[in-house]
Structure 1
Amino acid sequence: MDDRIELIQSPEMPPPGGHYSAATAFGDLVFVSGQLPVLADGTHDPTAPFDDQARRAVGNLLAVLRAAGSSPERVLKVTAYVAGIDHWPAFNRVFAELFGDARPARAIVPVPPLHHGYLVEVEAIATR
């Protein structure tokens, strides 16, 4: 087994805004950093409706998974940080829409507003 940690970045989104990678991979495991609903050009719109933010954040997660050679069907665990548990039903609906038949283990953690005032952030562990 190759013992190097691979740094993953998706060409579909801007590079991370801090000292971290969009994802790392070790062998067949992929660890996706928390993805905010940042737009592809790097701009921010924390005033967007929650559904739009959730769709963008999960879309960013899926873009990073593709860049790592993975897919929704290969996701083992997702953690979603949602500002206010009242957004849980909307997040669940968007997540089901974008993940289709894939049903990874998942936790939703209620939190205060996130960086830039966003309402949702998602991270995942997957295989490839």
Structure 2
Amino acid sequence: MPDVITRPDGMPPTNGYSHVAIAHGDTVFISGQVPVDADGEVVSADPSAQVEQVFTNLRTALAAAGLDFSHVVKLTYYLVDLADLAVVREVRDRFIDAERPPASSLIQVAGLVSPAFRVEIDAVASRG
């Protein structure tokens, strides 16, 4: 059975999921993070602010598992508007090593769980 960290300190509230699941072995799964702060509030309608909050949430979730962005092997991006992709890349490059980027997938979606969300990103990391 995997270890789960439902709500690490500094993460938004959850509703039926854990932010972090640590599989037996070296694989850690980070749930899709959205632009919500630790108080459960959407940070802004601004794409840059939303992406910044999502990566901040990912960093917090990784830290709860004893990891950082250097351990991330895969990111999956869900964007409502592909026009936000340049902003996503710019913010992402402040958090990851652009010389050693993780594998990634990008999916354009019609909408996310809240109409206020422009982006959601999940991660897979390795302790190895």
Same fold at TM > 0.5: yes
Query: Does 2:120 correspond to 1:121?
Result: yes
How far, CA to CA, are the matches of 2:49 and 2:110 in structure 1?
18
Comparing 100-109 with 48-57, greater Cα deviation is found at 100-109
How much has 1:107 moved relative to structure 2? 1.2
Structure 1 residue runs without a partner (length 5+): none
For these two proteins, the number of residue pairs brought into alignment is 123
Query: Does 2:50 correspond to 1:53?
Result: yes
How much has 1:48 moved relative to structure 2? 2.2
Q: Which string of whole-angstrom CA distances, capped at 9 and with x for unpartnered residues, describes residues 54-95 of structure 1?
A: 010111011101101111111010001011111111111111
Letter in 2 for 1:80: Y
Aligned to 1:70: 67
Three-state SS of the structure 1 residue aligned to 2:104 is strand
Asked whether the 8 Å contact 2:13–2:39 carries over to 1, the reply is no
Structure 2 residue runs without a partner (length 5+): none
Written as runs of structure 1 = structure 2, the 5 A alignment for 1:1-128 is: 4-8=1-5, 9-16=7-14, 18-26=15-23, 27-45=25-43, 47-101=44-98, 102-117=100-115, 118-128=117-127
How far, CA to CA, are the matches of 1:64 and 1:40 in structure 2?
12
Asked whether the 8 Å contact 1:78–1:124 carries over to 2, the reply is yes
Three-state SS of the structure 1 residue aligned to 2:90 is helix
Aligned alpha-carbon RMSD (Å) = 1.4
How far, CA to CA, are the matches of 1:63 and 1:121 in structure 2?
15
Letter in 1 for 2:38: A
Asked whether the 8 Å contact 1:29–1:127 carries over to 2, the reply is yes
Q: Which string of whole-angstrom CA distances, capped at 9 and with x for unpartnered residues, describes residues 28-74 of structure 1?
A: 210011000111111224x5200000010111011101101111111
With structure 2 as the length reference, what TM-score do the two structures score?
Answer: 0.88
Asked whether the 8 Å contact 2:11–2:37 carries over to 1, the reply is yes
How far, CA to CA, are the matches of 2:58 and 2:92 in structure 1?
11
Three-state SS of the structure 2 residue aligned to 1:116 is coil
